Amino acid sequence: MSAQQIKELRERSGAGMLDCKKALDENNGNMDAAIDWLRKKGLAQAAKKSGRTAAEGVVAVATDGNKGAVIELNSETDFVARNDQFQALAEAVASYAVHTDGDIEKLKAHTCTVAKKPVGEAITDAIATIGENIQLRRTAALQATNGIVSSYIHGSVKPGMGKIGVLLALESTGNKDALNALGKQLAMHVAASNPSYINLSDISEEAKAREAEVSKTKATKLFAEFQAFEASMAKYKDHLTTERNFSEKQFEPKLKELAQTLPNVDTLLSDYESKSVSEDRKEKQDAEKTKKLLNVFFQEAAFLLKKMRSYGDDAAIQEKLAQLYLDEAMREAVLMEQAFVIDGKTKISDVLKNAEKEVGAPVKLDAFVRFALGEGVERAEDDFAAEVAKMSGTAA
């Protein structure tokens, strides 16, 4: 048969090129017979389903000694993601991915030992059998030269697969059991905190510049809100006698909180003045509660106003706020700068340093991969429902 025949069959059936070639081979080049052959195999229907959005499914991980891999296998519905056949396919594909170096084309071409055909064809068969679009969206692999690869699944539907999958490579000549325990905790941390980089030095100048622009915009907005608050607080300057300190990273939430309370301050002051002189015991108690609330408000407002103005003129304040935003964004994005989710305070860099005693040797976090199911996929949630309605004759 000719390339033109394969092209024509592909256009008419919507099946893959290799499937079209095989169909023509099996039917001596007869186009109609080849189409019937594809339909019987379910391959034509599978191709039609391939246009539908698949954003559900599972993330699956597999490890083998110092190697590990993670895949995302998508389906259209969560119902199919919980199907035993679908999960068995995901488990098998993840195990093959360990040996295909994170190359998705290699993985698709890898022989599926159960089906005795390439993974890509096994997925096509599953589409025909299960009745939904199934896509092997991505894969990644890690290897530790002299250490271990740890994995973690969050939102597990069964061992090794769930909604978020993490691989993490630790390099160390120390005790492997201790290293594995550390790796599991760090992988859990990555699942929860979703860092973008390992070290601050990994951030490109381009990424820093983009984040700096975002930080400037946020600083301009926050400073405008501060100026409005500062102007409104002028009439209460006699109440700003003491200060209650808080972290600079709390400037934005504290300002919002204080600004929300501000419109009620006159009422609270009036309420306190009237009830504090009352002979009624309950009203006196209410007055004390109001006084405590006002004290916190004025003390925090006093600190905020003084601290902001300590940075200099308006331009200097905005520059400082922009730097604070930028520093915080960098810390949040960098794994080594994050606070360990296990205790909420120890930096990850210190966690690794502290672990050296238990492991018995230096520990280096070499790489990590985090897959979250469906991230970046534009979901068209009505696709499957619309097709069901069309098939049942209930579509509008």
| Three-state DSSP class for residue 142 | strand
Whole-number pLDDT of residue 15: 64
More confident residue, 50 or 362: 362
pLDDT over threshold 60, residue 330: yes
Fold agreement (3-37, 56-193+369-383): no
Q: How confident is the model at residue 381 (pLDDT cuts 50, 70, 90)?
A: very low
Residue 31 pLDDT class (50, 70, 90 cuts): confident
Cβ-contact 69, 147 below 8 angstroms: no
Give, in words, the CATH class of 3-37: mainly alpha
Q: φ and ψ at 380, to 5 degrees?
A: -120, 85
Determine contact, residues 141/94, Cβ cutoff 8 Å: no
Own/partner contacts of 323-330, CB < 8 Å, gap of 24 or more, are 323/215, 324/219, 324/248, 324/249, 324/251, 325/214, 325/215, 325/218, 325/219, 326/208, 326/211, 326/212, 326/215, 328/249, 329/211, 329/214, 329/215, 330/200, 330/203, 330/208, 330/211
Mean pLDDT across 126-152: 89
Q: What whole-number distance in Å separates Cα of residue 306 and Cα of residue 382? A: 54
In the chain, pLDDT over 70 holds for what percent of residues? 88
Q: Which tens digit of pLDDT belongs to each residue from 79-110?
A: 888 889 999 999 999 999 999 999 999 999 99
pLDDT of residue 227: 97
Average pLDDT over residues 61-68: 92
Average pLDDT over residues 161-173: 95
For position 79, what pLDDT does the model report? 87
CATH topology of domain 56-193+369-383: Tetrahydropterin Synthase; Chain A (3.30.479)
pLDDT exceeds 60 at position 46: no
The full set of domain ranges for the chain reads 3-37, 56-193+369-383, 205-331
- Whether 14 has a pLDDT exceeding 60, the answer reads no
Query: What average pLDDT does the segment 149-164 reach?
Result: 93
pLDDT of residue 374: 84
Residue pair 318/223 in contact (Cβ under 8 Å)? The answer is yes
Residue 124, pLDDT score: 85
Q: 223-227, 361-365, 374-378: lowest mean pLDDT where? A: 374-378
